[in-house]
């Protein structure tokens, strides 16, 4: 049996579930969904933010050219939109650690004492995390340098 052909265009989102299902959300539909959805602030004390913060840090480390891991320090601001899933927008403060990326695997990083160096570079990244069923999409949107 032949696999169906899925047509995708620029601006479309392709979502592959853990069960192998594939869904395409058209770019225009994404914009239309977002127009009528209200944004709510998320309490920085919410425990789920810790998991989101580490997911954001993982993507930040993948995208950065830094030789050292950037460890999450804190979530500075968080908002949430609910529409065909939940879209979190986080401002995450990260700092350089002493751990080289080529030496320590990121999954093990939370188990190591990976506090940021006092003299290391600190940054705030704006990250969007879209959670839908079994699917997480983490996108680094913006970098803001901060002074320590």
Average pLDDT, the chain: 78
Domains, the chain, ordered by start: 8-38 (no CATH), 40-145 (3.10.450.10)
Q: Tell me 9's DSSP state.
A: -
pLDDT value for 7: 55
pLDDT value for 89: 95
* Positions of E strands within the chain: 13-16, 22-25, 40-41, 68-82, 86-100, 122-132, 135-146
pLDDT value for 78: 96
Which percentage of the chain shows pLDDT scores above 70?
66
pLDDT in tens, 48-105: 999 999 999 999 999 988 898 898 999 999 999 987 789 999 999 999 988 788 776 7
């Amino acid at each position: 049996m032949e696999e169906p052909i899925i047509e995708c265009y620029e601006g479309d989102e392709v979502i592959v579930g853990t069960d192998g299902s594939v869904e395409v959300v058209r770019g225009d539909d994404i914009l239309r969904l977002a127009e009528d959805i209200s944004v709510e602030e998320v309490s920085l004390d919410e425990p789920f933010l810790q998991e989101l913060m580490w997911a954001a840090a993982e993507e930040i480390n993948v995208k950065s050219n830094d030789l050292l891991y950037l460890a999450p320090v804190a979530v500075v601001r968080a908002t949430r939109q609910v529409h065909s899933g939940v879209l979190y927008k986080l401002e995450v403060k990260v700092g350089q650690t002493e751990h080289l990326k080529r030496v320590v695997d990121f999954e093990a990083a939370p188990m190591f004492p990976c506090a940021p160096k006092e003299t290391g570079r600190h940054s705030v990244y704006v990250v969007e995390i879209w959670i839908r069923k079994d699917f997480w999409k983490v996108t680094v949107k913006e970098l803001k340098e901060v002074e320590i």
